[in-house]
Structure 1
């Protein structure tokens, strides 16, 4: 199949693009500029690169037609963040391809209610990112129902991979938290540390996209969660990482108001965003319909990333 992947050298694309090649597809990687992927792979020599500035092309009203000109049978969009962007591309592609796959987010659900959260749970997104992504999902699925647009949406959790910092047990991205754990220092957590995060390795997200292409007949017009098999509480996440470093857990718990005085404003904002959502999502639908089987647990994904952070001396 002739596949165009938009954003094919980013976090997910660095794993997905080579997987598409190995699955036998003819792959066109569309990127804003010439960028090295996060990980090397011999499959990249079989990829055809297309440089397109999405923002500039969309401003001129041309992006959809530029993608249409590549004559794809399938398009995978990893870089769409607004309903307007989704509409410009989908309307240009309507009736011109076999499969359109959009990368969403579990943030479409907003706060967790009944857990694990299934794909058909009511949407109550908050924050600009989640609200926009939920609107994109609604638009694409309506287009699938009313006009037969061949859309599939995959909703990843907190992405983990080598080359960037994963969410830590405080629910933010500060790599110093892992240094504290590695040295056996005391780690302050907000509240009781029972809020959740739900990681997923980028290669497992890549697996899900390839599986969705292979199971097109049951994937069309559907949304799927793509996360690890189980979410982690902040407390359990911290305790597990302490022990992985060979240390005994030393956790301290503070009220939210007190805890925010102990960290930077940036870290507090990130933590609040994650614990306010506290995602815990089901993957039964993806397992049943797509044959999705995550290779990595949340711990395994983070530990691989942290090992790479140690190699790059991001943490010591």
Structure 2
């Protein structure tokens, strides 16, 4: 199968590229390398270094005709979305729309779109399922949700198949601890440097943490399943920030006392996503507990 992976030099999608190459697929990675690292791309995959809106992308579609697009390229920094909403929308909304035009014009069968739990906003109930109201709290959440409507419309109007995957809090090897990096990568970076981890709020706030390899297996399943569906990809289990730091200290053999600071404005207190629909539609369940995923992440440091 010919698969185009956008953002394939980044944290999540580089792992997906490795899985797809191992499975024998023909893979091309599209990445402008503004945040990605070309060294993460498997040598069997081709790299097109370009922006989503570049004319080179149309040339690639015309010449190569990908059967599936696995779309992970995005502006993912919430603060950037608030400071530069035009840049955020250009990448996340217009970039996705450009891909959809290419898919329609060149016979792509399916798009797998990486969406986010950020589309839901403050949970009205837990666990959050796919029927939960969508009310994002940031421009980032808006710009991740808007493409879902375009994808659904392209499917209805032009027959493009799709699976939309709304990710919980993803962690694992290669995650960037700077900027809007996940709390796990930030904590690991602090521990490695002998610095004091900072916890905003009481630390009793909870999140649904999912290991990157479980995200990979959901994308692999979506190549042939989950047709025209929007699905949460999560562990369906909550872990507090305090618990998380405790596990990391225990696994790394370090003892630290975190610095507690006031909760950040707009921070959600509790979040957990239901994964029942993904389990049924993709025949998928997460294999890694948080503890197992943390062990693998720690073992990868220095690789």
- The answer, yes or no, to whether TM exceeds 0.5 is yes
Q: Which of 198, 209, 217 is matched with 1:207 structurally? A: 217
How far apart are the structure 2 equivalents of 1:285 and 1:64?
Answer: 34
Deviations 1:227-268 (A, max 9, x none): 23422112322333344345788678x6xxxx24xxxxxxx7
Q: Could you tell me how far 1:126 is from its partner in structure 2?
A: 1.3
How far apart are the structure 1 equivalents of 2:124 and 2:258?
Answer: 27
Q: Which of 87, 96, 99 is matched with 1:89 structurally? A: 99
Alignment: residue pair count: 280
* C-alpha distance 297-68 of structure 1, shift in aligned 2 (>3 A): farther
Alignment of 1:210-249 (within 5 A): 210-215=220-225, 219-245=226-252
How far apart are the structure 2 equivalents of 1:229 and 1:249?
Answer: 29
Deviations 1:54-84 (A, max 9, x none): 1561xx6x63453343211111111044221
Q: Which structure: larger Rg?
A: 1
Alignment of 1:20-59 (within 5 A): 20-32=20-32, 35-38=37-40, 44-47=42-45, 49-54=46-51, 57=54
Which of structures 1 and 2 has the larger relative contact order (alpha carbons within 8 angstroms, sep 6+)?
Answer: 1
Secondary structure of 2:268's aligned partner: helix
How far apart are the structure 1 equivalents of 2:269 and 2:156?
Answer: 29
Alignment of 1:247-258 (within 5 A): none
- What is the aligned-residue RMSD (CA, Å)? 3.2
Secondary structure of 1:104's aligned partner: strand
Q: Which of 103, 113, 124 is matched with 2:124 structurally? A: 113
How far apart are the structure 1 equivalents of 2:124 and 2:39?
Answer: 37
- What corresponds to 1:263 in structure 2? none
- What corresponds to 1:77 in structure 2? 71
Could you tell me whether the CA contact under 8 Å between 1:230 and 1:298 is conserved in 2?
A: no
The two structures have a TM-score, normalised by structure 2, of: 0.78
* C-alpha distance 290-177 of structure 1, shift in aligned 2 (>3 A): same
Could you tell me whether the CA contact under 8 Å between 1:7 and 1:30 is conserved in 2?
A: yes
Pick which of 282-291 and 93-102 moved more: 93-102
Could you tell me whether the CA contact under 8 Å between 1:65 and 1:92 is conserved in 2?
A: no
Deviations 1:4-61 (A, max 9, x none): 212222212221112112223222222335943448xxxx3432x132311561xx6x
How far apart are the structure 2 equivalents of 1:77 and 1:68?
Answer: 18
Q: Could you tell me how far 1:179 is from its partner in structure 2?
A: 5.6
Deviations 1:284-314 (A, max 9, x none): 11111102222222232234323444x48xx
Secondary structure of 1:3's aligned partner: strand
How far apart are the structure 1 equivalents of 2:300 and 2:25?
Answer: 30
How far apart are the structure 1 equivalents of 2:298 and 2:100?
Answer: 38
The two structures have a TM-score, normalised by structure 1, of: 0.75
How far apart are the structure 2 equivalents of 1:299 and 1:114?
Answer: 26
Could you tell me whether the CA contact under 8 Å between 2:3 and 2:26 is conserved in 1?
A: yes
Secondary structure of 1:223's aligned partner: strand
